[in-house]
Chain A
Amino acid sequence: MNDEELLDAFGGVRIDHDNAAYHRGLLERRLLINRCDSCAAWHHPPRSVCPRCWSRSITPTDVAGDGFLALITILRQGPPQPGVDYAAGHALVAVELDEQPGLRIAGTVVGAPAEQLRVGDRVRLLWRDLPGRLPRPDFEVVR
């Protein structure tokens, strides 16, 4: 997919050379997180250098998508978006990935009432196609 096609696929999103690989990954149902070739540290959101060792040798790398809920809120109002039900309470979470302490991805959790979610709950990556919604990673609780 060339750059023009990527921009078309993510209309209205500020796609740039630093985050293009992340978004290309989403289109292929891959969660690609920047990893340093020199020191193996992960970082997100994507940047052009490694924040630990300043290497410019960075490879967007697949993560397993397993982790735990580090942050949770329930949104009761906000801008309309496909798949978001404010009346029921929309779970917004930050998932801390197993790959590295503090490496977190924001998203939502499906399949469980938002009120039942607790910090520390184990979750895994889930890909959904929702009409009208841009590709993005979702999560589900592992019981």
Chain B
Amino acid sequence: MSATGTRGAARNPARDQVAIVGIGRSPYSRDRAGCTPGSLVLDACIAAARDAGLGATDIDGICGSMVAAQYVQAALGIPAVSWFANPQAVIGNQLVAAVAAVHSGMCDVALVYHHAYRLPWASRSAAQDPMRRRATLGVADARSWYGTGHVDTGPNSMFGANAYAAWAGRYLHDHGYTREALGRVALNSRTNAAANPNAVYREPLTMDAYLAGRMVRDPLSVYDMDIPVDAADAFIVTTTERARDLPRPPVLVHAATLGHTDYGSEEQLRDLDHAGQVVVTRKLWAKSELTLADVDVFFPYEGFSNIALAWFENVGYCGRGEGGAFVAQHWVEAEQRIVIDGRIPVNTHGGSLSEGGTQGAGHLYEACLQLRGEAGPRQVPGAEVALVTPGGYYFNSQGFLLRADR
């Protein structure tokens, strides 16, 4: 499969016709007491609606990840919706569905959300909260949730994080990299997080400290894996026509896509040329007349550091296996971060590795801030086009070209 599609070859009737008009979040935290997945989502949804200047009666569509749309509707007193859905996480699935629903007329104003919640087995501090022991009571485990046929998530299974580590090792092996190639992704996130008050890890990280980090799943250490947080992000989506009557600068969804290939479990993925990311980027560029040269800020998901290197390759900055070298070439030593061609910063908010792990929702939120010109000290001057690629290799690869309405 080629990494890039033919410009403009794919249908894209929704191009620039749907916009994100409100953003809200429950601030990311590693030590918040008393919250639930539901309360986090509600806080974010209220913030997003207020940001958009809209209330409960304006919302007629709801689309979230794990917290049921019906729960949110009742809790926020939204009197009537004509469309609702709970696609599989992560945030790109919700956004793509909402864009399609708004553009097709299933609803006019859609509320989109995703949350992260620290579970006792992933966080020592979370284990101190007895309520969290029951946070997944009655919730299907990830195997049945995906429906992919996994029967084992234990230490002899290539499931989720285990498989990302194994494919990271294969990447280093196949292309002759050392762990520094992964480390630059982690350092970039940490450096950028310093300017983001929402980030949970803001103190500097050196390469020496990175290399000395506690190994968890070789070759991935604690610094290569996203930070468990209590957090939620929410977005209000409506037509661009209506967006122009609302208070905030619209963020236009120029092109959006999901991508997946024909394997059912992580170890069966043929190789990284056949990962969902390849489908995403080929389709994304085919749906747009924009090119990489138009991109002002890039948000490759890095919930595991190796995922970002693959995104650099798949969006077309470099070829297969060259992601580590590309990042090294565009590494600004004095700033301890990536600036592509001296112009394009990467994950300006600190990403999942330092802002906190929300599976790409934080990346999307920051892209909106940047295109609205509201990123404060992190603002990319005159940012008009953001490339956002949430998701990893398997089951959840997603891509967005977002534009400022200028």
Contact residue range for chain A? 35 or more
A89: nearest residue on chain B (CB-CB)? B218
B side interface size, CB within 8 A:
35
Q: Scan residues 54-98 of chain A and give those whose CB is less than 8 A from a CB of chain B.
A: 70-79, 81, 84, 86, 89-90, 92-94
Tell me if A78 and B170 are in contact (CB < 8 A): no
- Whether a CB of chain A sits under 8 angstroms from the CB of B264 is yes
Tell me if B216 and A77 are in contact (CB < 8 A): yes
- Interface digits, B272-285 against A, CB 8 Å rule (1 contact, 0 not)? 00000000000000
Q: Scan residues 172-201 of chain B and give those whose CB is less than 8 A from a CB of chain A.
A: 173-174
Tell me if B151 and A78 are in contact (CB < 8 A): no
Tell me if B155 and A45 are in contact (CB < 8 A): no
Tell me if A73 and B151 are in contact (CB < 8 A): no
Tell me if A14 and B154 are in contact (CB < 8 A): no
A residues whose Cβ falls under 8 Å from a Cβ of B: 13-15, 18-19, 44-47, 51, 70-79, 81, 84, 86, 89-90, 92-94, 102-108, 114, 118-119, 136
Given the interface pairs A71-B170, A92-B162, the reply to whether A104 lies near B267 with Cβ below 8 Å is yes
Q: How far is the CA of A15 from the CA of B150 in the complex (A)?
A: 10
Tell me if B151 and A15 are in contact (CB < 8 A): yes
Partner pick for B156 among A13, A15, A106, CB 8 A cutoff: A106
Given the interface pairs A19-B149, A45-B264, the reply to whether A75 lies near B170 with Cβ below 8 Å is no
Given the interface pairs A14-B151, A104-B267, the reply to whether A76 lies near B218 with Cβ below 8 Å is yes
Partner pick for A73 among B144, B154, B214, B217, CB 8 A cutoff: B217
B residues whose Cβ falls under 8 Å from a Cβ of A: 121, 143-144, 149-152, 154-158, 162-163, 165-170, 173-174, 214-220, 262, 264-265, 267-268, 270
Q: How far is the CB of A143 from chain B (nearest CB, A)?
A: 20
Interface SS majority for chain A: loop
A84 contact set on B, CB distance < 8 A: 155-156
- What are 15 sample pairs from A and B whose C-beta atoms fall under 8 A apart? A14-B151, A19-B151, A45-B149, A45-B265, A47-B149, A47-B264, A72-B169, A73-B220, A75-B217, A79-B154, A92-B166, A94-B267, A106-B152, A106-B156, A108-B155
A119 contact set on B, CB distance < 8 A: 169-170, 173-174
B219: nearest residue on chain A (CB-CB)? A73
B215: nearest residue on chain A (CB-CB)? A76
Q: How far is the CB of B155 from chain A (nearest CB, A)?
A: 5
A107 contact set on B, CB distance < 8 A: 156
B262 contact set on A, CB distance < 8 A: 51
Tell me if A74 and B218 are in contact (CB < 8 A): yes
Q: How far is the CB of A25 from chain B (nearest CB, A)?
A: 13
12 more CB-based (< 8 A) A-B contacts, given A104-B268, A136-B156: A45-B150, A45-B265, A47-B264, A71-B166, A71-B170, A73-B165, A73-B220, A74-B218, A75-B216, A79-B155, A92-B155, A119-B169
